[in-house]
């Protein structure tokens, strides 16, 4: 470690904190001792009867036939056809034409003969969901149409959904990572400080409240490629629902509650006047949509969950999810200012905390609107906001919009700082050499190979910026700067920004890991001035850079960033805007779009109801799984080999497994005699004559890895290692062989830290024929079926490199230098933990003879990447 570098956190301390966080995440499911519940009646039920949601739904069906599980559809076939037609099927015209095929309807037993008939069944016989309506909003003498639905009914729809019941929270909690209850844990929204604070206020006024945190999001999006048509959707969800459910669009935990006008007011020639009119139009529409909750935020209203339990609920705007232009619009601040704090525009580049915007002062300024334009404008200017006529949040109880603005990892980090840092690096090192390195990085399952470089990419998407961030540090790690300047501070700045990016996306944080997040940002600001010295930047007054200083505060308030990242709402644009527009005839589109969306919601609710009915009927209930079912395997290999018989000679020539026979002999001896030392194993193996000369080989090992922090509810991380020789395509094009690198558990490795792991290159994945296994091993041998021939890299050093904080490794050799051979071994496939990506040490100029296919053979020294995915980042740091 470099003693002069404050960025080099002590490895053992970091490992301890990561382990404690993972253990706390796991223990909170089985051990309540580290959870402090809010005292009193928070989230308590009230003595009021309400039917279960699905019971009420059944009563609302127009054709309530107890014997027909699929009513109002006549049969299972009719229901599945109807559901497919509306959720997955073709256009309405195409579906009608399909039904006109002679004999088709009779064969399928369908009662509807056209898409119009099916729509009538959905509209008239399925229970309704909140309908959209349109109203005219008058702003500055002009009339605009806004489409929206009753937000209160939408809240009730989410709150009462039985499918969310097992994933809901009704009262705030404090979670801790230690037995002394000193290290706070943050993950779901109810673990943040905001909910506890609001609950405390409500309990002081009227005990027994249940907070329903509203999470709003707005973002204008294009719905066509060529006609420049756009939509301005407004989304809403509630923080009671667990974040892993809210993030999945298929769960319908986020609802579209309105379409705002998209008129750009281009007829207003003065730019400042036009911006002010657009802000007034936005807030007038949002005020009309959200105004219905004002009374209920203060006084509460009874709402029932899916099981019929009634609570007094207070819907309160908690978080607003948006990119920077929307944040400025919502907070009524000028472009270039921070929507959360009072940082001066010319000091946004400083690493400094500024006071949060004064809500009370802002509200006082807004109340001067009736005292004349000059007084109103002057008061707003004094408060640091734009003169907007009654922002929609002005009179919403318990709502502080400056606090509610949340971090936006997608636009602030990937499309913001990652984009900036990439341009700065191009200016520092030049595009040509960085592109050449891109082309020559070894392949990895989770890492994109930019075969043409990255400098010529246009309209780079968020996903492409993610892919670039995975390799960015490897492109510059040993590049020299012009004129012999030291690149140390530049490398440290890039590493710090990447650390911040990955830490900011942790699904759980503790007070300890939040310190690393703060430290990463501090390290970037400490080293950023290298870009000024290189003449690349004159100042760093970037709102997206300044916004990073608010991440820790927001995580403490509302839980981790995956509670409110715009990636979820970007995905919603496909369903609620783009697909909805494509379903119309493009004339007066919004009424058609809203009708299409309502029908899909009705079918989704009915599909959930049908599944509930099936489970309620014993005759239709699925058979229970065996109690002692084996857990799913972490490693997956194809059932049948890609090559049934590959000789040892072919393994050496095509796979590069030159010492296969000797390595396999050592493995056999070790399995037969586990008590022997390595030297004894080598001596005995020399006399082993294997009674076979061929094995079956497989090209791919697939891995399913649990979340590294122990979140069982999060999707498993998928990974793969490829070990495939060169082959010719149908057009006789030779595809080079691919032999990936992996991380092997050598004993003692945990979920976090590199101790107990070592890097290898997988040359062949194979299994022994049955007769060969019987001949090689003793009777009743129950060893692994699939084995791997690997070549070792050197063990991880005690410390990472001091500036970029990556571990340097190289090929392991044995023998004298003039006759050395790579250290190889046969190991069980189950010992391989996952793939790992290596950054070659290219030197000042990458050798042009190196390619992505041969760089692992040509280069002898590598850095181990920490940025393949979150699992790798937590394991290798």
Under the banding of pLDDT at 50, 70 and 90, the label for residue 10 is low
For residues 4-11, average pLDDT: 48
534 and 570, same domain (yes or no): no
Is the pLDDT score of 4 beyond 50? no
User: Once rounded to an integer, what is the mean pLDDT over residues 679-708?
Assistant: 89
- Do residue 577 and residue 695 come from a single domain? no
Report the chain's mean pLDDT, rounded to a whole number.
91
Q: Which of 450, 455, 451, 448 is nearest to 430 (CA)?
A: 455
Name the band, by pLDDT with cuts 50, 70 and 90, for residue 512.
Answer: very high
Residues 70 and 169 in one domain: no
Instruction: Please report whether residue 223 resides in a domain.
Output: yes
Q: How many CA atoms lie within 13 A of 95 on its CB side?
A: 22
Do 701 and 635 contact (CB within 8 A), yes or no? yes
Q: How far apart are CA 58 and CA 131, in angstroms?
A: 20
CA–CA distance, 566 with 338 (Å, rounded to integer): 18
Quick one: average pLDDT of 195-209?
95
pLDDT at 85 over 90: yes
Q: Which residue has the higher pLDDT, 321 or 708?
A: 321
Q: Is the distance from CB of 288 to CB of 137 less than 8 angstroms?
A: yes
Say what angle helices 462-476 and 431-439 make with each other, to 10 degrees.
100
Which residues, at least 6 apart from 385, have a Cβ–Cβ distance to it below 8 Å?
331, 332, 333, 362, 365
- 279-288, 504-513, 617-626, 679-688: least confidently modelled range: 617-626
Cα-based angle 77, 79, 80 (whole degrees, multiple of 5)? 65
Mean pLDDT of 424-435: 94
- Do 551 and 568 reside in the same domain of the chain? no
Does position 811 have pLDDT exceeding 60, yes or no? yes
Q: Looking at the structure, tell me whether residues 239 and 297 fall in a common domain.
A: yes
Query: Is the predicted pLDDT of residue 420 greater than 90, yes or no?
Result: yes
**Pair 227, 115 in one domain:** no
Please report whether residue 441 resides in a domain: yes
- One domain for residues 398 and 429: no
Which of 70, 92, 125 is the C-terminal boundary of a domain?
A: 125
Give domain status of residue 203, yes or no: yes
pTM: 0.93
Q: Give a yes or no: residue 694 inside a domain.
A: yes
Residue 269: pLDDT band by 50, 70, 90 thresholds? confident
* Nearest to 440, CA basis, from 63, 853, 60: 853
Q: How confident is the model at residue 301 (pLDDT cuts 50, 70, 90)?
A: very high
**627 domain-assigned:** no
- Tell whether 2 is covered by a domain: no
**877 pLDDT more than 80:** no
Q: Quick check: is 49 in a domain?
A: no
Residue 1 has a pLDDT of 38
Range of weakest confidence among 27-36, 145-154, 229-238: 27-36
Domain boundary among 84, 104, 125: 125
d(CA 163, CA 155): 15
The reply to whether 165 and 309 lie within a common domain is yes
Range(s) of the domain holding residue 272: 132-347+355-406+564-581+588-613
Same domain, 741 and 863: yes
pLDDT band for position 26 (50/70/90)?
confident
Number of domains in the chain: 4
Residue 596 falls within a domain, yes or no? yes
The DSSP line for 500-538 is HHHHHT-SSEEHHHHHHHHHHHHHHHHHTTHHHHTTS-S
| Same domain, residue pair 115 and 222 | no
Sign of CA dihedral 862, 866, 869, 873: positive
> CA separation (Å) from 693 to 665, 682, 687?
12, 20, 16
- In terms of pLDDT, which residue wins out, 777 or 216? 216
Q: pLDDT at residue 442 above 90? A: yes
Please state the rounded mean pLDDT for residues 115-131. 94
Q: What does the block give as tokens for 751?
A: 């979920």
With a cut of 80, say whether residue 626 has pLDDT above it.
Answer: no
pLDDT value at 586 more than 60 = yes
* CA atoms 831, 832, 834, 839: torsion sign: positive
- What is the model's pLDDT at position 382? 94
Q: Which of 125, 158, 180 is the last residue of a domain?
A: 125
Residue 826, beta-bridge partner list: 789
Q: How large a percentage of the chain has pLDDT more than 90? A: 73
* pLDDT for 717 beyond 80: no
Question: Which tens digit of pLDDT belongs to each residue from 178-194?
Answer: 889 999 999 999 999 99
Whether residues 701 and 650 fall in one domain: yes
- How much is the pLDDT for 753? 63
Q: Kindly state whether residues 398 and 414 are assigned to the same domain.
A: no
pLDDT in tens, 590-604: 999 999 999 999 999
pLDDT tens-place string over residues 824-833: 999 999 999 9
């Amino acid at each position: 470690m470099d003693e002069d570098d404050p960025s080099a956190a002590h490895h053992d301390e970091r490992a301890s904190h990561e382990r404690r966080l993972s253990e706390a995440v796991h223990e909170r499911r089985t051990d309540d001792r580290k959870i402090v519940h809010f005292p009193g009646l928070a989230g308590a039920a009230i003595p009021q009867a309400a039917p279960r949601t699905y019971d009420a739904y059944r009563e609302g069906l127009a054709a309530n036939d107890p014997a027909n599980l699929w009513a109002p559809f006549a049969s299972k076939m009719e229901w599945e056809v109807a559901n497919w037609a509306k959720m997955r099927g073709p256009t309405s015209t195409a579906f009608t034409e399909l039904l006109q095929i002679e004999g088709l309807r009779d064969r399928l037993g369908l009662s509807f003969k056209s898409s119009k008939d099916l729509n009538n069944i959905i509209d008239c016989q399925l229970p309704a969901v909140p309908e959209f309506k349109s109203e005219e909003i008058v702003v500055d003498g002009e009339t605009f149409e806004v489409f929206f639905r009753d937000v209160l009914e939408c809240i009730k729809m989410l709150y009462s959904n039985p499918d969310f019941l097992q994933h809901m929270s009704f009262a705030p909690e404090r979670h801790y990572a230690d037995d002394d209850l000193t290290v706070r844990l943050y993950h779901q929204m109810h673990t943040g400080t905001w909910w506890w604070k609001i609950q405390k206020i409500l309990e002081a006024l009227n005990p027994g409240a249940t907070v329903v945190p509203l999470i709003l999001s707005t973002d204008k999006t294009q719905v066509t490629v060529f006609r420049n048509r756009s939509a301005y959707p407004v989304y809403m969800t509630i923080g009671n629902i667990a974040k892993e459910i809210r993030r999945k669009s298929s769960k319908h935990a986020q609802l579209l509650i309105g379409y705002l006008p998209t008129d750009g007011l281009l007829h207003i020639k003065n730019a400042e006047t036009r911006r002010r009119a657009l802000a007034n139009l936005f807030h007038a529409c949002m005020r009309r949509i959200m105004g219905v909750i004002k009374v209920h935020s203060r006084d509460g209203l009874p709402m029932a969950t899916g099981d019929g339990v009634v609570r007094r609920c207070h819907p309160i705007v908690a978080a607003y999810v948006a990119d920077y232009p929307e944040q400025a619009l919502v907070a009524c601040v000028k472009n270039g200012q921070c929507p959360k704090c009072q940082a001066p525009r010319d000091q946004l580049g400083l690493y400094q905390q500024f006071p949060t915007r004064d809500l009370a002062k802002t509200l006082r300024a807004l109340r001067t609107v009736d005292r004349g334009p000059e007084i109103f404008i002057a008061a707003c200017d004094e408060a640091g906001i734009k003169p907007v006529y009654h922002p929609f949040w002005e009179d919403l109880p318990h709502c502080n919009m400056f606090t509610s603005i949340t971090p936006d990892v997608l636009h602030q980090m990937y499309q913001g700082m990652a984009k900036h840092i990439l341009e700065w690096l191009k200016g520092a090192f030049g595009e040509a050499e960085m592109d050449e390195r891109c082309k020559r990085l070894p392949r990895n399952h989770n890492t994109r190979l930019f075969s043409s470089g990255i400098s010529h990419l246009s309209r780079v998407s968020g996903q492409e910026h993610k892919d670039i961030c995975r390799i960015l540090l490897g492109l510059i790690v040993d590049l020299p700067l012009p004129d012999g300047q030291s690149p140390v501070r530049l490398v440290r700045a890039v590493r710090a920004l990447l650390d911040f990016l990955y830490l900011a996306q942790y699904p759980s944080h503790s007070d300890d890991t939040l310190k690393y997040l703060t430290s990463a940002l501090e390290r970037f600001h400490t080293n950023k001035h290298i870009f000024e010295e290189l003449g690349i930047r004159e100042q760093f007054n970037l709102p997206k850079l300044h916004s990073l200083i608010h991440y820790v505060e927001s995580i403490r308030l509302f839980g981790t960033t995956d509670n409110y990242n715009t990636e979820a709402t970007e995905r919603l644009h496909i369903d609620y805007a783009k697909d909805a527009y494509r379903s119309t005839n493009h004339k007066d589109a919004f009424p058609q779009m809203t009708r299409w969306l309502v029908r899909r919601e009705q079918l989704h609710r009915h599909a959930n109801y049908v599944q509930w009915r099936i489970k309620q009927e014993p005759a239709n209930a699925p058979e229970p799984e065996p109690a002692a079912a084996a857990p799913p395997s972490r490693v997956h290999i194809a059932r049948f080999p890609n090559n049934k018989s590959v000789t040892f000679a072919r393994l050496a020539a095509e796979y590069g497994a030159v010492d296969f026979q000797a390595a396999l002999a050592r493995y056999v001896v070790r399995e037969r005699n586990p008590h022997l030392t390595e030297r004894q194993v080598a001596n005995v193996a020399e006399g082993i004559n294997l009674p076979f000369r061929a094995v079956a080989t497989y090209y791919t090992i697939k891995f399913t890895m649990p979340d590294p922090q122990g979140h069982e509810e999060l999707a498993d991380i998928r990974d793969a290692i490829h070990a495939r020789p060169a082959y010719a395509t149908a057009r006789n094009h030779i595809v080079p062989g691919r032999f990936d690198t992996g991380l092997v558990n050598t004993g003692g490795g945990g979920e976090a830290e590199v101790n107990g792991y070592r890097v290898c290159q997988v040359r062949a994945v194979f299994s022994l024929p049955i007769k060969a296994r019987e001949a090689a091993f003793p009777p009743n041998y129950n060893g692994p079926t699939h084995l791997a021939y690997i070549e070792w890299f050197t063990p991880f050093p005690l410390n990472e490199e001091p500036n970029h904080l990556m571990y340097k490794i190289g090929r392991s050799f044995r023998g004298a230098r003039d006759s050395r051979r790579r250290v190889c071994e046969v190991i069980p496939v189950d010992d391989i933990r996952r793939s790992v990506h290596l950054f070659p040490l290219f030197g000042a100029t990458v050798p042009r003879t190196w390619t992505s296919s041969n760089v692992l053979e040509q280069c002898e020294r590598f850095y181990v990447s920490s940025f393949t995915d979150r699992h790798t980042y937590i394991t290798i740091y």
